[in-house]
Amino acid sequence: MVDILRIPQSTMLAGFFDQFLPNNISTHFLYQIMHLYLVI
């Protein structure tokens, strides 16, 4: 699976949510799911 943190655009999006959500495995998984929707 592709790590969205390696993608600049997704990194900005992840950073945005990182301000509102705790930095843990659950949020990282959420970033993965969101990236899949962005690609599709």
pLDDT in tens, 1-40: 556 555 556 666 667 666 665 556 666 777 777 777 776 5
Query: What is the rounded CA–CA span in Å between residue 10 and residue 36?
Result: 11
Q: What is the pLDDT of residue 8?
A: 59
Q: What is the pLDDT of residue 34?
A: 77
Q: CA end-to-end span of the chain, whole Å?
A: 15
Query: What is the rounded CA–CA span in Å between residue 40 and residue 22?
Result: 26
Three-state SS for 23? coil
Structural domain spans, the chain:
4-39
